[in-house]
Amino acid sequence: MSEYIEHDRDKISVGIVEKKLFTFAEPPDEMVLESGARVGPLTLAYETCGTLNEDKSNVILILHALSGDSHVAGYYTPDDEKPGWWDNMVGPGKGIDTDKYFIVCSNIIGSCMGSTGPCTINPKTVLPYGLDFPVVTIGDMVEAQKALMVHLGVKKLLAVVGGSIGGMQVLEWCIRYPEMVVSAIPLASTTKHSALAIAFNEVARQAIMADPNWNDGEYYFGPKPDMGLAVARMIGHITYLSDESMRLKFGRRLQDKSDFSFNFDADFQVESYLRYQGKKFVERFDANSFLYITKAGDYYDLEKQHGDGSEVKAFSKMAAAFLVVSFTSDWLYPTYQSRAMVKAMKKNGLDVSFCEIEAEWGHDAFLLPNARLTAVIRGFLERVFNQSPK
């Protein structure tokens, strides 16, 4: 078990964690993707925390959103200033309690955070894949995660948890492997992208591809499409917020000045903030990976792919107990989409709990500390753990 460390008097962490790598699908046994393409070898980055119990009945798989990674909680070194992306939820005594549960967080194929994706070296050419990397789907991501579970000797998942695109992976886990998943928590998610969500993703992709440095994805040995990726991130970041959150955080306040500059500098605080977010993003993420992952999200359509166009029929193939959570200010994946999901679950007699949480911070609310969200997740996990056969 990880050694706990305390960075301040109010915050206990799981401690030092280690990024691990799992490689599979070695030729000639490459992974066959939904597109029909074959790819291998494949590597998944993953991290674990907590202690696996004797009968392996306490495993929780956490799945990240678009630009996330396997670093869900804890620190890589004692000097780290920033913990994992969901450290407020995952840890000893927290909503997902590492004193009780064994946590696995897996990165996704197509990413640039340790797993195989377009920036990975193609063994056939000894050059980065670029656009030679095949387009992957949410289903392909789940198939790779299933291989990781086999590698870890995990036959049953107490819960699969994820928000946004991670929530899509949660649903796909439940429909592909119903015998493995005891419970599921899709947060701020949907069974398919709306036209609005697809439109924002497409504008972001076009921003990248319009950057002359993108060079049809062949930029790994030259200047990178940093401006295009920064603009793509700025576009995406707007969709993660809400009108209320932006009003409260920025309003029309000016950035370090008392009047307009009468040029095209960042006069407003919100302009400066978005430019900062874009600049920080290009330091850690790959433009091609952004293209691939957003496309995977846009392609996902649970009812079309698994229910012949019927959401009810798609959910009839699932067996997990569900906790579905939406947020009032999330206009990217609004509550009506979660309610439709819940309605289809109930029509199939599934054990489903639904919670719409009052939150002003938009789609990103599931990542932020929230006492109600913590309590709801903690209570749900305790119930399914106590009810599940040991």
Q: Which tens digits make up the pLDDT trace of 162-194?
A: 999 999 999 999 999 999 999 999 999 999 999
**How is residue 199 written in tokens?**
């439109």
Residue-wise pLDDT tens digits, 363-387: 999 999 999 999 999 999 999 999 9
Would you say residue 83 has pLDDT above 80?
Answer: yes
Tokens (6 digits) for 59: 């495993």
Phi, psi (rounded to 5 degrees) for 96 = -105, 95
- Average pLDDT score over residue span 125-129: 97
Q: Which of 162, 132, 126, 158 is nearest to 50 (CA)?
A: 158
Does CATH number 3.40.50.880 belong to domain 194-299? Answer: no
Answer for the pair 360, 245: CB distance below 8 angstroms, yes or no. yes
Burial of 7 (0-12, 13-18, 19+ CB in 10 A): middle
How far is it, in rounded angstroms, from Cα 50 to Cα 167?
22
* pLDDT of 10 higher than 50: no
Model confidence at 388, in pLDDT bands (50, 70, 90)? confident
Q: Which of 131, 103, 113 is nearest to 44 (CA)?
A: 113
β-sheet bridge partners, residue 43 = 23
Q: How far is CA 121 from CA 97, 117, 284, in A?
A: 37, 9, 18
Q: Which CATH architecture has domain 5-193+302-387?
A: 3-Layer(aba) Sandwich (3.40)
Q: Is 308 exposed, middle or buried (0-12, 13-18, 19+ CB in 10 A)?
A: exposed
What is the average pLDDT across 259-273?
Answer: 95
Give residue 3's pLDDT. Answer: 44
What pLDDT is attached to residue 389?
74
User: If you search the block for the tokens 């990880």, which residue do you land on?
Assistant: 2
Q: Are 244 and 360 in contact (CB under 8 A)?
A: yes
Please state whether 376 falls in left (phi above 0), alpha (psi between -120 and 50) or beta: alpha
Domain boundaries, given as residue ranges, for the chain: 5-193+302-387, 194-299
Which pTM value belongs to this model?
0.95
Locate 145 and state its tokens: 């995660």
| pLDDT at residue number 165 | 98
Length reported for the chain: 390
Identical fold between 5-193+302-387 and 194-299: no
Q: What is the mean pLDDT of the chain?
A: 95
By annotation, the residues acting in catalysis are: 164, 330, 363
